[in-house]
Amino acid sequence: MNMVGPQASLEIHGPRAGRVEDAIDTLDAIETAYNVIYFTNIQLDWICYFVQREALDPNVFMWPLNMLRSSEDIRQFILPEDVLEIGVVKFESPGFWEFLGALNPLDQIRQFISDRHERSKDIEYRNAAEKKNLNWIMSGWRQRFFQTKSKCSKKLDILKNRSEA
């Protein structure tokens, strides 16, 4: 019984080449995220199984958590057919990595990456809008400054002319 779900693939496109160390860190982060999501789904299935049977003993729910010390510990819970694999790597500009594994963790990683991209677009839009707004405010302040300076200059000229006369 596959507790996590059917198999799937995930392509991650990259805008440029990078250092080997960065690629290793990225691959490790993707594998760790996949494994943690996979393990969390196992836990949720486990909890649902016992809730349906009204076996609500909290110790039953905690047994996997008590065993975990590192990401290496999580790996032991991943079924061999669900271990994350690299299916295809295309080194071009832009290139991509294709990962093969269980559908649910890959879908959650894909959604996170998509949401992160959308958040970054929102931030860029907001920053551009704030910059435009600040420029508009600053131009208003500049305009008022020069108007005030002009009025003060005119008043000073009038006062100079009166004092000279």
Q: From residue 36, how far is each of 53, 81, 110, 117, 118 by CA, in Å?
A: 26, 16, 15, 22, 24
Residue whose entry in the numeric block shows the structure tokens 């890959």: 106
Task: Quote the pLDDT of residue 20.
Answer: 77
Task: Quote the pLDDT of residue 24.
Answer: 83
Q: Give residue 1's pLDDT band: very low, low, confident or very high (50, 70, 90).
A: very low
Contact 84, 30 (CB under 8 A): yes
pLDDT single digits (tens) 116-157: 778 878 788 888 878 887 777 777 777 777 777 777 777 777
Question: How many Cα atoms are found within 13 Å in the side-chain-facing hemisphere of 153?
Answer: 6
Q: Which residue has the higher pLDDT, 35 or 55?
A: 35
User: Tell me, what amino acid is at 165?
Assistant: A
Q: Give residue 3's pLDDT band: very low, low, confident or very high (50, 70, 90).
A: very low
Identify any residues that bridge with 9 across adjacent strands, giving them in sequence order: 100
**Token pair of 29 as six digits:** 């982060």
Contact 12, 29 (CB under 8 A): no
What is the chain's length? Answer: 165
pLDDT single digits (tens) 46-96: 777 777 776 666 565 555 555 666 777 788 888 888 888 888 777 666 667
Strand duo 95-102 + 7-14: pairing:
antiparallel
Residue whose entry in the numeric block shows the structure tokens 């959308």: 118
- Alpha carbons 84 and 102: distance in angstroms, whole number: 8
Q: Which residue has the higher pLDDT, 3 or 9?
A: 9
pTM of the model: 0.54
Least confident of 10-19, 108-117, 122-131: 10-19
Contact 104, 41 (CB under 8 A): yes
Task: Quote the pLDDT of residue 72.
Answer: 77
